[in-house]
C-alpha cells in the first residue's frame, strides 16, 4: 500500500481508538463481576450500548472466542446468537488479548459490509475471562467520511505476464489517431485548457477518447476516433475558465500532451497504448504494449532527466523513455 494511503488509514484508526478505548474499558469493568450470568452481562451491555458512538452491535466473548451474551442492537437483542463460535473471525485474538484492540477492516458476515471491531479484555485478578466487543460499520464512522487528500506518487505497475513476455511479437498498429496525432493532441489541449475538461484519456491503439468535465464530473464522455480528430468537437463543449485550483498550468498541460506523441512512436514493439492527464491532481497515466502502467506527477514527466531514473527491468517502459531521449524525441532536464 502507498505510504501516504497507509498514513491516512493509521490516523483514522488512531482517532477511532481514542474515542472508544476509555468507554469499552468501563463496560469491561462492569461485566467482570457478572461474567457467568448471560442475563446480567446482557443488562450491562444494554445499559452501555447507547453511550458508544456509532456502535452497531455490542456483545461479549469468552477466552476461547465463544459468544456468551446476546447481540445488543439499538433497542433490541438477539439471544439466539449466544454460544456461537467466533474464534475464526478476523478480529478475535484469543486468550492472549490483554489490552484494547481495534481490528483491521473486514467484511461483516451479518451485513456484508466493511466494518471494524473494537475489543477490550475482561479480567479478574489473575484471571482472563474474555472480551467485550463492539462492531462499527465504516459508513457510520465520521472520520471515514473525510476526503482522502491526493499525494503525488510515482508508481509503475507490471501487467499481464503473458502479454509482457510476448511484446516483441507484436508491432504497433497504425490507427486513425496515429495519422492525425498532432491534431488530436492540439484538440485535447484546447478541451483541457479552454473547454472545462479536467481529465482526458487518449486510447491511441483503439481510437477512442474519454473526457471528464469540471461541470459534470460524475459522467465521462466517450468519443470515437473520427470525432476526436475533428476540431468541430470543440463546439460541443462551452468556453470555461481554466480552474484556479488545478495543479497543472495550462502551458504544462499542453506540453504533457505533446510528449505522448514521442512515446507512441518511440519503438515498434514497446509503445504507448493509452495516456491520460488529470490537471486537478497533476497525474499522468501511461499504459504500454507490455501491459505495464505508470503513474507519475506531470512535473516529473516534463522535467525529470529520464536517464537518471532506476535501471530498466527486463521489459520496462523506462527503456522507451531512454531511447526517446537518445533519439532526440524527448528533451531531458534543462533542454
Q: What string of pLDDT tens digits covers the 335 residues of the chain?
A: 456 667 777 787 888 888 889 999 999 999 999 999 999 999 999 999 888 888 889 999 998 999 999 999 876 788 878 889 988 887 776 556 788 999 888 888 777 788 889 999 999 988 889 999 999 888 877 654 445 455 555 555 554 555 544 445 567 778 899 999 999 999 999 999 999 999 999 999 889 999 999 999 999 999 999 999 999 999 999 999 999 999 999 999 999 999 999 888 877 777 889 999 999 999 999 888 877 788 889 998 887 544 443 334 333 444 444 444 444 444 433 33
Q: Are residues 60 and 187 in the same domain?
A: no
**What is the domain extent for residue 93?**
3-144
Q: Which residue has the cell 502507498?
A: 2
* Element containing residue 207 per DSSP (H, E): none
Q: What is the pLDDT of residues 178-198, one digit of tens each?
A: 999 999 999 999 999 999 999
- What per-residue confidence (pLDDT) applies to 155? 58
Establish if 274 belongs to a structural domain: yes
E-strand stretches of the chain: 57-62, 71-73, 76-78, 101-102, 106-107, 114-124, 127-137, 155-157, 197-203, 209-213, 216-223, 272-278, 283-288, 293-297
R_g of the chain, CA atoms, integer Å: 28
Establish if 331 belongs to a structural domain: no
Q: Are residues 175 and 292 in the same domain?
A: yes
For 112: left if phi > 0, alpha if psi spans -120 to 50, otherwise beta; the answer is left
Q: Are residues 108 and 173 in the same domain?
A: no
Domain boundary among 87, 115, 144: 144
- What per-residue confidence (pLDDT) applies to 210? 97
CB-CB contact of 202 with 274 (8 Å): yes
Collapse the DSSP code of 261 into the 3-class scheme (helix H, G, I; strand E, B; otherwise coil) and give the result: helix
Q: Are residues 321 and 219 in the same domain?
A: yes
CATH number at residue 54: 3.30.450.20
d(CA 212, CA 148): 20
Closest CA to 290 of 314, 315, 313, 311: 315
- What per-residue confidence (pLDDT) applies to 151? 54
Domain boundary among 92, 121, 144: 144
Establish if 150 belongs to a structural domain: no
Pairing of strands 71-73, 209-213: unpaired
**b/e sequence 259-279, b meaning 16+ C-beta within 10 Å:** bbbbbbbbbeebbbbbbbbbb
Q: Are residues 114 and 191 in the same domain?
A: no
Q: Are residues 140 and 252 in the same domain?
A: no
Q: Are residues 72 and 217 in the same domain?
A: no
Q: Are residues 165 and 294 in the same domain?
A: yes
Domain boundary among 144, 172, 200: 144
Establish if 209 belongs to a structural domain: yes
Q: What is the pLDDT of residues 77-110, one digit of tens each?
A: 888 788 899 888 877 765 567 889 998 888 887 7
Pairing of strands 293-297, 283-288: antiparallel
pLDDT > 70: percent of the chain: 79
Q: Give Cα 116 to chain centroid, integer Å.
A: 18
| Model pTM score | 0.62
Collapse the DSSP code of 54 into the 3-class scheme (helix H, G, I; strand E, B; otherwise coil) and give the result: coil
Q: Are residues 195 and 291 in the same domain?
A: yes
Closest CA to 70 of 90, 46, 93: 46
d(CA 208, CA 228): 8
Q: Which backbone phi and psi does 63 adopt, to 5 degrees?
A: -65, -20
- What per-residue confidence (pLDDT) applies to 143? 56
Q: Are residues 176 and 311 in the same domain?
A: yes
Establish if 309 belongs to a structural domain: yes
Cα–Cα distances in angstroms (integers) from residue 104 to residues 6, 12, 91, 119, 199, in the given order: 12, 12, 7, 12, 34
Establish if 106 belongs to a structural domain: yes
Q: Are residues 252 and 282 in the same domain?
A: yes
d(CA 126, CA 29): 15
Establish if 149 belongs to a structural domain: no
Establish if 273 belongs to a structural domain: yes
Q: Are residues 176 and 317 in the same domain?
A: yes
Number of structural domains in the chain? 2
Amino acid at each position: 500500500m502507498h505510504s501516504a494511503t497507509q498514513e491516512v488509514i493509521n490516523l483514522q484508526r488512531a482517532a477511532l481508538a481514542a474515542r472508544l478505548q476509555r468507554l469499552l474499558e468501563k463496560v469491561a469493568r462492569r461485566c467482570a463481576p457478572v461474567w457467568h450470568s448471560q442475563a446480567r452481562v446482557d443488562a450491562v451491555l444494554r445499559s452501555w450500548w447507547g453511550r458508544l458512538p456509532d456502535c452497531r452491535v455490542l456483545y461479549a466473548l469468552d477466552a476461547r472466542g465463544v459468544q456468551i451474551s446476546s447481540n445488543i442492537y439499538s433497542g433490541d437483542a438477539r439471544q439466539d446468537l449466544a454460544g456461537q463460535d467466533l474464534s475464526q473471525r478476523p478480529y478475535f485474538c484469543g486468550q492472549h488479548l490483554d489490552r484494547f484492540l481495534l481490528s483491521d477492516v473486514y467484511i461483516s458476515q451479518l451485513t456484508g459490509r466493511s466494518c471494524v471491531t473494537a475489543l477490550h479484555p475482561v479480567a479478574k485478578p489473575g484471571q482472563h475471562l474474555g472480551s467485550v466487543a463492539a462492531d462499527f460499520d465504516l459508513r457510520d464512522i465520521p472520520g471515514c467520511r473525510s476526503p482522502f487528500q491526493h499525494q503525488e506518487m510515482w508508481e509503475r505497475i507490471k501487467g499481464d505476464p503473458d502479454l509482457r513476455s510476448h511484446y516483441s511479437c507484436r508491432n504497433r498498429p497504425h490507427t486513425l489517431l496515429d495519422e492525425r496525432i498532432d491534431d488530436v493532441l492540439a484538440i485535447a489541449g484546447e478541451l483541457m485548457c479552454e473547454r472545462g475538461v479536467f481529465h482526458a484519456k487518449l486510447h491511441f491503439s483503439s481510437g477512442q477518447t474519454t473526457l471528464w468535465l469540471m461541470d459534470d464530473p460524475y459522467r465521462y464522455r466517450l468519443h470515437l476516433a473520427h470525432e476526436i480528430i475533428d476540431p468541430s468537437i470543440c463546439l460541443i463543449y462551452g468556453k470555461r475558465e481554466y480552474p484556479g485550483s488545478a495543479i497543472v498550468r495550462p502551458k504544462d498541460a499542453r506540453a504533457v500532451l505533446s510528449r505522448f506523441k514521442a512515446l507512441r512512436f518511440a519503438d515498434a514493439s514497446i509503445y504507448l497504448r493509452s495516456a491520460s492527464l488529470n490537471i486537478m491532481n497533476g497525474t499522468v497515466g501511461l499504459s504500454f504494449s507490455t501491459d505495464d502502467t505508470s503513474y507519475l506527477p506531470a512535473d516529473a514527466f516534463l522535467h525529470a532527466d529520464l536517464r537518471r531514473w532506476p535501471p530498466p527491468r527486463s521489459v520496462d517502459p523506462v527503456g522507451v523513455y531512454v531511447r526517446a531521449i537518445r533519439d532526440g524525441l524527448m528533451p531531458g532536464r534543462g533542454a
